[in-house]
Amino acid sequence: MLKKIVVIAALLLLVGFSFSLITKPQKTETSKPAEVKTPLPETLFAFTKESLTADCSQKDEQLCAVENAVKCTINPALEICGNLNLPKFIFMQDAGLDRPTEISYKLKNKRVLVNNTVEIFTDSSCNGGWFGLCQGTVIYVLAKPENQTTGWYVKDIYAIE
């Protein structure tokens, strides 16, 4: 009798295990869409408070948005800054802020994200502290308003040390 119970239990275990293998969803490898690599200028961009102009040296709207954010970081009273949609901390006026008067950067990478968002990575240096957002790898997050073909703006800025 004990042998019959053991055999039946083994068969039930075997059937249950094989059933779980059959019904388990198969893992399929999903290929990640290839990132579109956009060639970026290999130039070192340098700005000083004394030499800022309202003109953008870039023809690309996204790169121009980064340039304008840098210019407004140096001097938020610059005429173009009032019309730009930039993070609010750029316009903070406090004597304790170590606002830079010189910023230079080189474009490293551009990554397209979802929801009309792009990240532009830069190697940056400056002569101020500025929340740590002008030294090392600084990433500018750009956005474009829905249903528009123009109008890129810097939505956020963060740094990787």
Q: Please report, in angstroms and rounded to a whole number, the separation of the first and last CA atoms in the chain.
A: 71
Q: Give burial (CB, 10 Å; 0-12/13-18/19+) of 20.
A: exposed
Query: Is a pLDDT exceeding 70 seen at residue 97?
Result: yes
CB 122 within 8 A of CB 114: no
pLDDT top residue among 98 and 27: 98
pTM of the model: 0.74
Tell me the pLDDT tens digit for each residue of 45-88.
999 999 999 899 888 999 999 999 999 999 999 999 988 889 99
Domains of the chain: which residue ranges?
44-160
CB 143 within 8 A of CB 152: yes
What's the CATH code, domain 44-160?
A: 3.10.450
Residue 157 pLDDT grade (very low, low, confident, very high; cuts 50, 70, 90) = very high
